[in-house]
Chain A
Amino acid sequence: MNAASPLLSVRGVETYYGNIIALRGVDLDVHVGEIVTLIGANGAGKSTLMMTICGSPQARTGSVTFDGTDITRMPTHEIMRMAIAQSPEGRRIFPRMTVLENLQMGAGVTDLSHFDEDLQKVYELFPVLKARRNQRGGTLSGGEQQMLAIGRALMSRPRLLLLDEPSLGLAPLVVKQIFAAIAELNRTEGLTVFLVEQNAFHALKLAHRGYVMVNGSITMNGTGAELLAREEVRAAYLEGGRH
Protein backbone atom coordinates (compact mmCIF):
# COMPACT_ATOMS: atom_id res chain seq x y z
CA MET A 1 0.00 0.00 0.00
CA ASN A 2 1.41 3.37 -0.84
CA ALA A 3 1.68 5.80 2.03
CA ALA A 4 -0.54 8.43 0.52
CA SER A 5 -3.60 6.28 -0.09
CA PRO A 6 -5.98 6.26 2.88
CA LEU A 7 -6.63 3.21 5.07
CA LEU A 8 -10.36 3.86 4.95
CA SER A 9 -11.96 5.70 2.12
CA VAL A 10 -15.67 6.50 1.84
CA ARG A 11 -16.83 7.80 -1.53
CA GLY A 12 -20.27 9.14 -2.41
CA VAL A 13 -22.03 6.87 0.06
CA GLU A 14 -25.80 7.03 0.23
CA THR A 15 -27.61 4.90 2.79
CA TYR A 16 -31.35 4.46 3.15
CA TYR A 17 -33.62 3.09 5.83
CA GLY A 18 -36.43 1.82 3.67
CA ASN A 19 -37.24 4.87 1.57
CA ILE A 20 -35.81 7.37 3.99
CA ILE A 21 -32.41 8.70 3.06
CA ALA A 22 -29.96 8.86 5.94
CA LEU A 23 -26.64 9.60 4.21
CA ARG A 24 -26.51 11.89 1.17
CA GLY A 25 -23.27 11.24 -0.65
CA VAL A 26 -20.65 11.16 2.07
CA ASP A 27 -16.91 11.43 1.25
CA LEU A 28 -14.42 10.79 3.98
CA ASP A 29 -10.85 9.49 4.42
CA VAL A 30 -8.95 8.07 7.34
CA HIS A 31 -5.17 7.65 6.96
CA VAL A 32 -2.93 5.26 8.84
CA GLY A 33 -2.01 6.55 12.28
CA GLU A 34 -4.62 9.28 12.34
CA ILE A 35 -7.39 10.06 14.77
CA VAL A 36 -10.27 11.38 12.69
CA THR A 37 -13.45 12.57 14.29
CA LEU A 38 -16.92 13.07 12.92
CA ILE A 39 -19.07 15.50 14.86
CA GLY A 40 -22.67 16.50 14.40
CA ALA A 41 -25.99 16.82 16.14
CA ASN A 42 -28.23 14.01 17.22
CA GLY A 43 -29.77 12.34 14.19
CA ALA A 44 -27.30 13.78 11.67
CA GLY A 45 -26.35 10.28 10.45
CA LYS A 46 -23.06 9.77 12.27
CA SER A 47 -23.88 6.33 13.62
CA THR A 48 -25.42 5.37 10.29
CA LEU A 49 -22.10 6.11 8.60
CA MET A 50 -20.32 4.04 11.21
CA MET A 51 -22.65 1.11 10.61
CA THR A 52 -22.50 1.54 6.83
CA ILE A 53 -18.73 1.14 6.99
CA CYS A 54 -19.43 -2.17 8.74
CA GLY A 55 -21.97 -3.21 6.11
CA SER A 56 -25.09 -3.07 8.26
CA PRO A 57 -26.97 -1.49 6.53
CA GLN A 58 -25.08 -1.55 3.25
CA ALA A 59 -24.67 1.61 1.21
CA ARG A 60 -27.11 1.83 -1.68
CA THR A 61 -24.68 3.82 -3.83
CA GLY A 62 -21.07 4.82 -3.46
CA SER A 63 -18.21 2.76 -2.10
CA VAL A 64 -16.33 1.98 1.07
CA THR A 65 -12.73 0.90 0.62
CA PHE A 66 -10.49 -0.49 3.34
CA ASP A 67 -6.79 -0.91 2.66
CA GLY A 68 -7.47 -1.03 -1.08
CA THR A 69 -10.26 -3.64 -0.84
CA ASP A 70 -13.81 -2.68 -1.74
CA ILE A 71 -15.88 -3.75 1.28
CA THR A 72 -19.16 -2.05 0.31
CA ARG A 73 -20.99 -5.29 -0.44
CA MET A 74 -19.26 -7.61 1.98
CA PRO A 75 -21.25 -9.18 4.85
CA THR A 76 -20.62 -7.62 8.24
CA HIS A 77 -18.75 -10.52 9.81
CA GLU A 78 -16.29 -10.64 6.90
CA ILE A 79 -15.63 -6.91 7.10
CA MET A 80 -14.91 -7.23 10.80
CA ARG A 81 -12.42 -10.01 10.09
CA MET A 82 -10.36 -7.54 8.02
CA ALA A 83 -9.05 -6.02 11.24
CA ILE A 84 -11.71 -3.38 11.65
CA ALA A 85 -13.25 -3.21 15.12
CA GLN A 86 -16.12 -1.18 16.39
CA SER A 87 -17.12 -0.01 19.83
CA PRO A 88 -20.71 0.78 18.91
CA GLU A 89 -23.24 3.32 20.04
CA GLY A 90 -24.82 2.25 23.30
CA ARG A 91 -21.75 0.04 23.99
CA ARG A 92 -23.66 -3.22 23.42
CA ILE A 93 -21.64 -5.37 25.73
CA PHE A 94 -23.09 -8.82 26.34
CA PRO A 95 -24.89 -8.39 29.66
CA ARG A 96 -25.08 -12.06 30.62
CA MET A 97 -21.47 -12.87 29.86
CA THR A 98 -18.61 -12.17 32.20
CA VAL A 99 -16.14 -9.38 31.46
CA LEU A 100 -13.58 -11.99 30.46
CA GLU A 101 -16.03 -13.71 28.09
CA ASN A 102 -16.85 -10.36 26.51
CA LEU A 103 -13.15 -9.85 25.89
CA GLN A 104 -12.86 -13.38 24.49
CA MET A 105 -15.66 -12.55 22.08
CA GLY A 106 -13.60 -9.59 20.93
CA ALA A 107 -10.64 -11.85 20.24
CA GLY A 108 -12.79 -14.37 18.39
CA VAL A 109 -11.65 -13.41 14.93
CA THR A 110 -7.89 -13.49 15.47
CA ASP A 111 -5.69 -16.43 16.12
CA LEU A 112 -5.50 -17.10 19.83
CA SER A 113 -1.72 -17.35 20.17
CA HIS A 114 -1.45 -13.79 21.44
CA PHE A 115 -4.65 -13.79 23.47
CA ASP A 116 -2.96 -13.57 26.88
CA GLU A 117 -0.66 -10.79 25.75
CA ASP A 118 -3.58 -8.75 24.37
CA LEU A 119 -5.60 -9.40 27.49
CA GLN A 120 -2.82 -8.04 29.68
CA LYS A 121 -2.65 -4.91 27.51
CA VAL A 122 -6.35 -4.26 27.90
CA TYR A 123 -6.12 -4.85 31.65
CA GLU A 124 -3.24 -2.36 31.84
CA LEU A 125 -5.22 0.21 29.90
CA PHE A 126 -8.35 -0.28 32.02
CA PRO A 127 -7.34 -1.91 35.34
CA VAL A 128 -10.95 -1.94 36.54
CA LEU A 129 -11.72 -4.63 33.95
CA LYS A 130 -9.19 -6.94 35.54
CA ALA A 131 -10.77 -6.45 38.96
CA ARG A 132 -14.19 -7.21 37.51
CA ARG A 133 -13.18 -9.97 35.08
CA ASN A 134 -15.53 -12.60 36.50
CA GLN A 135 -18.46 -10.26 36.92
CA ARG A 136 -21.32 -10.26 34.44
CA GLY A 137 -21.16 -7.42 31.93
CA GLY A 138 -24.66 -6.24 32.79
CA THR A 139 -23.63 -5.43 36.34
CA LEU A 140 -20.93 -2.93 35.36
CA SER A 141 -21.42 0.83 35.59
CA GLY A 142 -21.81 2.86 32.39
CA GLY A 143 -18.17 3.94 32.39
CA GLU A 144 -16.94 0.43 33.01
CA GLN A 145 -19.15 -0.88 30.22
CA GLN A 146 -17.64 1.69 27.86
CA MET A 147 -14.14 0.60 28.84
CA LEU A 148 -15.18 -2.99 28.25
CA ALA A 149 -16.61 -2.13 24.83
CA ILE A 150 -13.34 -0.46 23.83
CA GLY A 151 -11.27 -3.25 25.38
CA ARG A 152 -13.32 -5.84 23.51
CA ALA A 153 -12.72 -4.00 20.24
CA LEU A 154 -8.98 -3.87 20.93
CA MET A 155 -8.78 -7.62 21.53
CA SER A 156 -9.02 -8.25 17.79
CA ARG A 157 -5.82 -6.24 17.16
CA PRO A 158 -7.63 -3.84 14.84
CA ARG A 159 -5.87 -1.75 12.26
CA LEU A 160 -8.83 0.62 12.35
CA LEU A 161 -10.82 1.28 15.51
CA LEU A 162 -14.29 2.72 15.09
CA LEU A 163 -15.57 4.45 18.23
CA ASP A 164 -19.17 5.57 18.37
CA GLU A 165 -19.94 8.13 21.10
CA PRO A 166 -17.70 6.73 23.82
CA SER A 167 -18.50 9.73 26.05
CA LEU A 168 -22.27 9.33 25.95
CA GLY A 169 -23.87 9.47 29.37
CA LEU A 170 -20.59 9.29 31.27
CA ALA A 171 -19.23 11.44 34.09
CA PRO A 172 -16.67 14.06 32.90
CA LEU A 173 -13.86 12.35 34.80
CA VAL A 174 -14.55 9.03 33.10
CA VAL A 175 -14.74 10.73 29.70
CA LYS A 176 -11.33 12.21 30.35
CA GLN A 177 -9.92 8.81 31.26
CA ILE A 178 -11.32 7.20 28.13
CA PHE A 179 -10.09 9.94 25.81
CA ALA A 180 -6.67 9.76 27.45
CA ALA A 181 -6.60 6.03 26.76
CA ILE A 182 -7.44 6.61 23.07
CA ALA A 183 -4.72 9.25 22.75
CA GLU A 184 -2.25 6.90 24.42
CA LEU A 185 -3.07 4.03 22.05
CA ASN A 186 -2.67 6.30 19.06
CA ARG A 187 0.65 7.68 20.27
CA THR A 188 2.31 4.47 21.42
CA GLU A 189 0.86 1.90 19.04
CA GLY A 190 0.03 4.11 16.11
CA LEU A 191 -3.57 2.92 16.25
CA THR A 192 -5.81 4.47 13.61
CA VAL A 193 -9.06 5.74 15.11
CA PHE A 194 -12.29 6.99 13.60
CA LEU A 195 -14.29 8.67 16.34
CA VAL A 196 -17.92 9.74 16.19
CA GLU A 197 -18.82 12.22 18.89
CA GLN A 198 -21.39 14.73 20.04
CA ASN A 199 -18.92 15.98 22.58
CA ALA A 200 -17.29 18.18 19.93
CA PHE A 201 -14.82 20.00 22.11
CA HIS A 202 -13.10 16.93 23.47
CA ALA A 203 -13.25 15.14 20.15
CA LEU A 204 -11.72 18.00 18.14
CA LYS A 205 -8.99 18.52 20.70
CA LEU A 206 -8.07 14.87 20.50
CA ALA A 207 -8.33 14.39 16.75
CA HIS A 208 -5.84 15.23 14.02
CA ARG A 209 -8.65 15.96 11.59
CA GLY A 210 -12.38 16.34 11.82
CA TYR A 211 -15.53 16.31 9.72
CA VAL A 212 -18.83 18.00 10.54
CA MET A 213 -22.02 16.24 9.50
CA VAL A 214 -25.37 17.95 9.12
CA ASN A 215 -28.47 16.11 8.02
CA GLY A 216 -26.64 13.27 6.29
CA SER A 217 -24.01 15.37 4.49
CA ILE A 218 -20.49 16.46 5.34
CA THR A 219 -20.53 20.26 5.56
CA MET A 220 -17.04 21.06 6.81
CA ASN A 221 -13.72 19.41 7.34
CA GLY A 222 -10.27 20.40 8.49
CA THR A 223 -7.77 19.80 11.25
CA GLY A 224 -9.09 19.61 14.77
CA ALA A 225 -7.67 23.01 15.64
CA GLU A 226 -9.08 24.65 12.50
CA LEU A 227 -12.57 23.37 13.17
CA LEU A 228 -12.37 24.39 16.81
CA ALA A 229 -11.58 27.93 15.70
CA ARG A 230 -14.44 28.17 13.17
CA GLU A 231 -17.28 30.40 14.23
CA GLU A 232 -20.01 28.11 12.83
CA VAL A 233 -18.63 25.12 14.70
CA ARG A 234 -18.37 27.05 17.92
CA ALA A 235 -21.90 28.39 17.60
CA ALA A 236 -23.49 25.10 16.67
CA TYR A 237 -21.62 22.55 18.75
CA LEU A 238 -19.57 24.22 21.43
CA GLU A 239 -21.27 27.21 23.00
CA GLY A 240 -22.65 26.12 26.31
CA GLY A 241 -21.22 22.72 25.72
CA ARG A 242 -17.94 22.90 27.52
CA HIS A 243 -17.72 25.76 29.95
Chain B
Amino acid sequence: MEYFVQQLINGLTLGSIYGLIAIGYTMVYGIIGMINFAHGDIFMVGSFIALIAIIAFGLTAGSSLAVLILALILVLLIAMALTSVYGWTVERLAYRPLRGSFRLAPLITAIGMSIVLQNFVQIAQGARVKPLQPLFSGGFTLMELEGPTGAVFRVNLSFAQILIIVTTVVLMTVFTLIIAKTSLGRSQRACEQDRKMAALLGVNVDRTISLTFVMGAALAAVAGLMYLLYYGVIDFYIGFIAGVKAFTAAVLGGIGSLPGAMLGGLLIGLIETFWSAYFSIEYKDVAAFSILAIVLIFLPSGILGRPEVEKV
Protein backbone atom coordinates (compact mmCIF):
# COMPACT_ATOMS: atom_id res chain seq x y z
CA MET B 1 0.00 0.00 0.00
CA GLU B 2 2.73 2.46 0.95
CA TYR B 3 4.63 1.49 -2.15
CA PHE B 4 1.50 2.06 -4.23
CA VAL B 5 0.95 5.55 -2.79
CA GLN B 6 4.55 6.47 -3.42
CA GLN B 7 4.30 5.35 -7.05
CA LEU B 8 1.04 7.24 -7.43
CA ILE B 9 2.77 10.46 -6.35
CA ASN B 10 5.70 9.81 -8.69
CA GLY B 11 3.34 8.98 -11.57
CA LEU B 12 1.27 12.12 -11.09
CA THR B 13 4.41 14.26 -11.10
CA LEU B 14 5.73 12.74 -14.30
CA GLY B 15 2.23 12.88 -15.81
CA SER B 16 1.97 16.60 -15.06
CA ILE B 17 5.11 17.24 -17.08
CA TYR B 18 3.83 15.14 -19.99
CA GLY B 19 0.47 16.87 -19.79
CA LEU B 20 1.98 20.34 -20.02
CA ILE B 21 3.87 19.35 -23.16
CA ALA B 22 0.87 17.50 -24.61
CA ILE B 23 -1.22 20.68 -24.50
CA GLY B 24 1.10 22.26 -27.06
CA TYR B 25 0.63 19.33 -29.43
CA THR B 26 -3.11 19.26 -29.03
CA MET B 27 -3.68 23.01 -29.39
CA VAL B 28 -1.63 23.24 -32.56
CA TYR B 29 -3.27 20.13 -34.00
CA GLY B 30 -6.68 21.55 -33.18
CA ILE B 31 -6.09 24.84 -34.95
CA ILE B 32 -4.09 23.86 -38.04
CA GLY B 33 -4.39 20.08 -38.12
CA MET B 34 -0.68 19.38 -38.08
CA ILE B 35 1.60 17.60 -35.64
CA ASN B 36 4.30 20.01 -34.58
CA PHE B 37 7.19 17.57 -34.32
CA ALA B 38 9.49 20.35 -33.15
CA HIS B 39 7.42 20.83 -30.00
CA GLY B 40 9.43 18.33 -27.96
CA ASP B 41 12.56 20.30 -28.81
CA ILE B 42 10.85 23.54 -27.83
CA PHE B 43 10.41 21.90 -24.44
CA MET B 44 14.13 21.06 -24.43
CA VAL B 45 15.04 24.66 -25.32
CA GLY B 46 12.80 25.84 -22.48
CA SER B 47 14.65 23.55 -20.13
CA PHE B 48 18.04 24.96 -21.17
CA ILE B 49 16.86 28.55 -20.87
CA ALA B 50 15.63 27.76 -17.36
CA LEU B 51 18.96 26.19 -16.44
CA ILE B 52 20.90 29.17 -17.76
CA ALA B 53 18.67 31.55 -15.83
CA ILE B 54 19.06 29.55 -12.61
CA ILE B 55 22.83 29.59 -12.95
CA ALA B 56 22.84 33.29 -13.84
CA PHE B 57 20.86 34.07 -10.69
CA GLY B 58 23.33 32.00 -8.71
CA LEU B 59 20.61 29.91 -7.12
CA THR B 60 21.72 27.06 -4.93
CA ALA B 61 20.11 24.89 -2.31
CA GLY B 62 21.66 27.26 0.22
CA SER B 63 19.51 30.23 -0.83
CA SER B 64 16.70 31.01 1.57
CA LEU B 65 13.29 29.62 0.68
CA ALA B 66 11.71 33.01 0.00
CA VAL B 67 14.54 34.03 -2.32
CA LEU B 68 14.37 30.65 -4.01
CA ILE B 69 10.66 30.85 -4.71
CA LEU B 70 10.76 34.43 -5.96
CA ALA B 71 13.75 33.70 -8.15
CA LEU B 72 12.13 30.58 -9.56
CA ILE B 73 9.01 32.52 -10.49
CA LEU B 74 11.27 34.95 -12.30
CA VAL B 75 13.12 32.06 -13.98
CA LEU B 76 9.76 30.61 -15.03
CA LEU B 77 8.65 33.89 -16.60
CA ILE B 78 11.96 34.35 -18.41
CA ALA B 79 11.86 30.79 -19.74
CA MET B 80 8.25 31.18 -20.86
CA ALA B 81 8.96 34.45 -22.63
CA LEU B 82 12.11 33.35 -24.44
CA THR B 83 10.77 29.92 -25.35
CA SER B 84 7.66 31.57 -26.76
CA VAL B 85 9.93 33.50 -29.10
CA TYR B 86 11.33 30.19 -30.32
CA GLY B 87 7.82 28.77 -30.80
CA TRP B 88 6.69 31.87 -32.66
CA THR B 89 9.77 31.84 -34.87
CA VAL B 90 9.40 28.19 -35.79
CA GLU B 91 5.82 28.79 -36.88
CA ARG B 92 6.72 31.94 -38.79
CA LEU B 93 9.68 30.42 -40.62
CA ALA B 94 8.75 26.81 -41.18
CA TYR B 95 4.96 26.48 -41.15
CA ARG B 96 3.26 29.69 -42.21
CA PRO B 97 4.89 29.88 -45.65
CA LEU B 98 3.59 26.37 -46.31
CA ARG B 99 0.02 26.99 -45.22
CA GLY B 100 -2.20 25.99 -48.09
CA SER B 101 0.46 23.66 -49.41
CA PHE B 102 -0.07 19.88 -49.31
CA ARG B 103 -0.63 18.39 -45.89
CA LEU B 104 2.68 16.61 -45.60
CA ALA B 105 4.80 19.69 -46.28
CA PRO B 106 4.65 21.33 -42.83
CA LEU B 107 5.10 17.92 -41.25
CA ILE B 108 8.41 17.54 -43.03
CA THR B 109 9.59 21.04 -42.10
CA ALA B 110 8.54 20.24 -38.53
CA ILE B 111 10.94 17.33 -38.45
CA GLY B 112 13.52 19.66 -39.99
CA MET B 113 12.98 22.25 -37.25
CA SER B 114 13.32 19.52 -34.66
CA ILE B 115 16.75 18.59 -36.05
CA VAL B 116 17.74 22.26 -36.29
CA LEU B 117 16.87 22.95 -32.65
CA GLN B 118 18.63 19.84 -31.38
CA ASN B 119 21.80 20.62 -33.29
CA PHE B 120 21.69 24.27 -32.37
CA VAL B 121 21.59 23.43 -28.67
CA GLN B 122 24.19 20.72 -29.09
CA ILE B 123 26.59 23.19 -30.68
CA ALA B 124 25.79 26.10 -28.40
CA GLN B 125 25.70 24.17 -25.13
CA GLY B 126 27.76 21.07 -25.83
CA ALA B 127 26.65 17.49 -26.08
CA ARG B 128 27.27 16.52 -22.46
CA VAL B 129 24.50 16.26 -19.92
CA LYS B 130 24.06 19.37 -17.81
CA PRO B 131 23.54 18.75 -14.12
CA LEU B 132 21.75 21.01 -11.66
CA GLN B 133 22.30 20.54 -7.96
CA PRO B 134 18.95 19.91 -6.29
CA LEU B 135 17.49 23.24 -5.15
CA PHE B 136 14.96 21.71 -2.82
CA SER B 137 15.93 18.99 -0.50
CA GLY B 138 13.39 17.36 1.68
CA GLY B 139 9.66 17.25 1.71
CA PHE B 140 6.98 15.60 3.75
CA THR B 141 6.87 12.05 4.94
CA LEU B 142 3.29 10.99 4.51
CA MET B 143 3.50 7.48 5.87
CA GLU B 144 6.03 5.41 7.64
CA LEU B 145 5.89 1.69 8.04
CA GLU B 146 8.18 -0.85 9.56
CA GLY B 147 8.39 -4.00 7.52
CA PRO B 148 8.67 -7.53 8.92
CA THR B 149 12.44 -7.43 8.52
CA GLY B 150 12.66 -4.24 10.49
CA ALA B 151 13.33 -2.08 7.41
CA VAL B 152 11.44 1.21 7.39
CA PHE B 153 9.60 2.27 4.25
CA ARG B 154 8.62 5.91 3.93
CA VAL B 155 6.18 7.55 1.54
CA ASN B 156 7.68 10.89 0.58
CA LEU B 157 6.17 13.87 -1.10
CA SER B 158 9.09 16.08 -2.00
CA PHE B 159 8.94 19.86 -2.29
CA ALA B 160 9.82 19.54 -5.96
CA GLN B 161 6.84 17.25 -6.52
CA ILE B 162 4.49 19.62 -4.73
CA LEU B 163 5.85 22.49 -6.80
CA ILE B 164 5.33 20.59 -10.05
CA ILE B 165 1.80 19.41 -9.30
CA VAL B 166 0.62 22.77 -7.95
CA THR B 167 2.11 24.74 -10.84
CA THR B 168 0.52 22.37 -13.34
CA VAL B 169 -2.91 22.61 -11.76
CA VAL B 170 -2.74 26.42 -11.64
CA LEU B 171 -1.57 26.79 -15.23
CA MET B 172 -4.10 24.27 -16.54
CA THR B 173 -6.88 26.20 -14.87
CA VAL B 174 -5.65 29.49 -16.27
CA PHE B 175 -5.32 28.14 -19.81
CA THR B 176 -8.68 26.39 -19.71
CA LEU B 177 -10.27 29.70 -18.66
CA ILE B 178 -8.46 31.58 -21.43
CA ILE B 179 -9.79 29.14 -24.04
CA ALA B 180 -13.30 29.05 -22.62
CA LYS B 181 -13.94 32.67 -21.67
CA THR B 182 -11.75 35.19 -23.44
CA SER B 183 -12.16 36.57 -26.92
CA LEU B 184 -8.71 35.19 -27.80
CA GLY B 185 -9.91 31.74 -26.78
CA ARG B 186 -13.09 32.15 -28.80
CA SER B 187 -11.05 33.21 -31.82
CA GLN B 188 -8.86 30.15 -31.40
CA ARG B 189 -11.85 27.85 -31.28
CA ALA B 190 -13.40 29.64 -34.25
CA CYS B 191 -10.22 29.16 -36.30
CA GLU B 192 -10.22 25.53 -35.25
CA GLN B 193 -13.76 24.97 -36.48
CA ASP B 194 -13.84 27.12 -39.62
CA ARG B 195 -10.83 29.27 -40.45
CA LYS B 196 -12.43 30.96 -43.45
CA MET B 197 -15.50 31.97 -41.49
CA ALA B 198 -13.34 33.27 -38.66
CA ALA B 199 -11.62 35.58 -41.16
CA LEU B 200 -15.05 36.69 -42.41
CA LEU B 201 -15.80 37.80 -38.85
CA GLY B 202 -12.68 39.95 -38.70
CA VAL B 203 -10.43 37.46 -36.90
CA ASN B 204 -6.78 37.78 -37.89
CA VAL B 205 -6.23 34.07 -38.52
CA ASP B 206 -2.43 34.23 -38.87
CA ARG B 207 -2.08 36.12 -35.63
CA THR B 208 -4.38 33.70 -33.81
CA ILE B 209 -2.32 30.74 -35.03
CA SER B 210 0.90 32.47 -33.94
CA LEU B 211 -0.55 33.05 -30.48
CA THR B 212 -1.46 29.38 -30.27
CA PHE B 213 2.17 28.45 -30.90
CA VAL B 214 3.25 31.00 -28.32
CA MET B 215 0.91 29.56 -25.70
CA GLY B 216 2.03 26.01 -26.44
CA ALA B 217 5.69 27.00 -26.22
CA ALA B 218 5.13 28.84 -22.93
CA LEU B 219 3.63 25.72 -21.38
CA ALA B 220 6.46 23.61 -22.79
CA ALA B 221 8.90 25.98 -21.07
CA VAL B 222 7.11 25.40 -17.78
CA ALA B 223 7.44 21.67 -18.35
CA GLY B 224 11.11 22.23 -19.16
CA LEU B 225 11.75 23.93 -15.83
CA MET B 226 9.80 21.26 -13.95
CA TYR B 227 11.76 18.50 -15.67
CA LEU B 228 14.99 20.22 -14.76
CA LEU B 229 14.01 20.58 -11.10
CA TYR B 230 12.76 17.02 -10.90
CA TYR B 231 15.50 15.09 -12.65
CA GLY B 232 18.39 17.49 -12.22
CA VAL B 233 20.02 16.60 -15.55
CA ILE B 234 19.19 17.70 -19.07
CA ASP B 235 20.82 17.38 -22.47
CA PHE B 236 20.02 18.41 -26.01
CA TYR B 237 18.21 15.15 -26.67
CA ILE B 238 15.57 15.13 -23.91
CA GLY B 239 13.03 16.74 -26.23
CA PHE B 240 12.78 13.70 -28.42
CA ILE B 241 11.62 11.07 -25.97
CA ALA B 242 9.57 13.49 -23.86
CA GLY B 243 8.01 14.79 -27.07
CA VAL B 244 7.04 11.31 -28.24
CA LYS B 245 5.53 10.55 -24.85
CA ALA B 246 3.62 13.80 -24.73
CA PHE B 247 2.39 13.29 -28.28
CA THR B 248 1.21 9.82 -27.26
CA ALA B 249 -0.54 11.41 -24.32
CA ALA B 250 -2.29 13.90 -26.59
CA VAL B 251 -3.50 11.11 -28.90
CA LEU B 252 -4.55 8.94 -25.98
CA GLY B 253 -6.62 11.75 -24.47
CA GLY B 254 -8.07 12.71 -27.84
CA ILE B 255 -6.02 15.01 -30.01
CA GLY B 256 -7.53 18.48 -30.22
CA SER B 257 -8.99 18.22 -26.72
CA LEU B 258 -7.40 20.28 -23.95
CA PRO B 259 -8.65 18.25 -20.97
CA GLY B 260 -7.84 15.16 -23.03
CA ALA B 261 -4.18 16.18 -23.26
CA MET B 262 -3.97 16.61 -19.50
CA LEU B 263 -5.73 13.32 -18.83
CA GLY B 264 -3.57 11.54 -21.40
CA GLY B 265 -0.44 13.00 -19.81
CA LEU B 266 -1.42 11.80 -16.36
CA LEU B 267 -2.31 8.35 -17.67
CA ILE B 268 0.96 7.93 -19.53
CA GLY B 269 2.88 9.12 -16.46
CA LEU B 270 1.01 6.69 -14.20
CA ILE B 271 1.27 3.73 -16.58
CA GLU B 272 4.98 4.26 -16.98
CA THR B 273 5.63 4.63 -13.28
CA PHE B 274 3.53 1.69 -12.18
CA TRP B 275 4.87 -0.56 -14.89
CA SER B 276 8.42 0.29 -13.82
CA ALA B 277 7.55 -0.27 -10.19
CA TYR B 278 5.74 -3.57 -10.43
CA PHE B 279 7.06 -5.16 -13.61
CA SER B 280 10.21 -4.20 -15.43
CA ILE B 281 11.64 -0.77 -16.01
CA GLU B 282 13.05 -1.78 -19.41
CA TYR B 283 9.57 -2.29 -20.84
CA LYS B 284 7.91 0.87 -19.50
CA ASP B 285 7.74 2.48 -22.93
CA VAL B 286 6.32 -0.69 -24.44
CA ALA B 287 3.62 -0.64 -21.78
CA ALA B 288 2.71 3.00 -22.46
CA PHE B 289 2.52 2.52 -26.22
CA SER B 290 0.60 -0.77 -25.88
CA ILE B 291 -2.06 0.96 -23.82
CA LEU B 292 -2.26 3.62 -26.53
CA ALA B 293 -2.77 0.94 -29.20
CA ILE B 294 -5.47 -0.80 -27.18
CA VAL B 295 -7.35 2.43 -26.42
CA LEU B 296 -7.25 3.50 -30.05
CA ILE B 297 -8.76 0.18 -31.18
CA PHE B 298 -11.84 0.79 -29.06
CA LEU B 299 -11.89 4.61 -29.03
CA PRO B 300 -10.33 5.71 -32.32
CA SER B 301 -10.58 9.39 -31.46
CA GLY B 302 -9.04 8.99 -28.01
CA ILE B 303 -10.63 9.09 -24.59
CA LEU B 304 -12.06 12.62 -24.70
CA GLY B 305 -11.73 13.26 -28.43
CA ARG B 306 -14.87 13.92 -30.39
CA PRO B 307 -16.04 11.59 -33.13
CA GLU B 308 -15.42 12.83 -36.65
CA VAL B 309 -19.07 12.99 -37.66
CA GLU B 310 -20.75 16.32 -36.91
CA LYS B 311 -24.18 17.51 -37.86
CA VAL B 312 -23.71 20.75 -39.71
Instruction: Name A residues whose Cβ lies closer than 8 Å to a Cβ of B.
Output: 54, 56, 75-77, 80-81, 85-86, 88, 92, 94-97, 101, 104-106, 108-109, 138-139, 152, 156
Give me 17 A-to-B residue pairs in the complex whose CB atoms sit less than 8 angstroms apart, sorted by A's number: A56-B200, A77-B204, A77-B205, A80-B199, A80-B201, A88-B197, A94-B189, A94-B194, A95-B193, A95-B310, A95-B311, A97-B190, A104-B186, A106-B201, A108-B203, A139-B311, A152-B201
* Measured CA separation A156–B187 after assembly (Å): 15
- With an 8 A cutoff between CB atoms, is B196 at the interface? yes
Query: A-B pairs with the 7 shortest C-beta distances?
Result: A109-B202, A80-B202, A76-B199, A92-B197, A94-B193, A81-B202, A77-B204
What is the bound-complex CA distance between A139 and B312, given in angstroms? Answer: 8
Contact partners of B310 in chain A: CB under 8 A: 95-96, 138
Q: B183 an interface residue at 8 Å Cβ cutoff?
A: yes
Cβ-defined contact, B194 with A92, below 8 A: yes
A136 to chain B, nearest CB (A): 10
> Quick one: closest B residue to A101, CB to CB?
B186
A239 nearest CB across to chain B (Å): 33
* CB neighbours of A56 from chain B (8 A): 196, 199-200
Residues in A whose Cβ lies below 8 Å from that of B199: 56, 75-77, 80
A residues within 8 A CB of B198? 105
In the complex the two chains form, is B193's CB within 8 Å of A108's CB? no
Q: Which residues of A contact B204 (CB under 8 A)?
A: 77
Q: What is the interface of chain B, defined by CB distance below 8 A to chain A?
A: 183, 186-187, 189-190, 193-194, 196-205, 306, 310-312
Contact partners of B183 in chain A: CB under 8 A: 104, 108
Minimum CB–CB distance for B273 against chain A, Å = 34
In the bound assembly, the distance between CA atoms of A114 and B279 in angstroms comes to 63
CA distance A134 to B202 in the complex (A): 23
A108 & B311 in contact (Cβ 8 Å cutoff): no
Asked if A108 and B196 sit within 8 Å, CB to CB, the answer is: no
CA distance A94 to B200 in the complex (A): 12
Inter-chain contacts of B190 with A (CB < 8 A): 94, 97, 105
Nearest residue in B to A55 (C-beta to C-beta)? B199
Complex Cα gap A81–B187 (Å): 15
Query: Which one of A88, A92, A101 has the highest number of Cβ atoms from chain B below 10 Å of its Cβ?
Result: A92
User: Which of B196, B202, B311 contacts A156 (CB under 8 A)?
Assistant: B202
Which residues of the partner chain B approach A138 to less than 8 Å between Cβ atoms? 310-312
What is the bound-complex CA distance between A156 and B310, given in angstroms?
27
How far, in whole Å, are A163 and B187 apart by their CA atoms in the complex? 22
Alpha-carbon gap, A94 to B199, bound state (A)? 13
List, in ascending order, chain A residues with CB within 8 A of B200's CB: 54, 56, 76, 80, 86, 88, 92
Closest to B204 in A: A77
Which of A95, A101, A105, A156 has the most B CB atoms < 10 Å from its CB? A105
CB distance from A59 to the nearest CB of B (A): 17
A210 → chain B closest CB, angstroms:
24
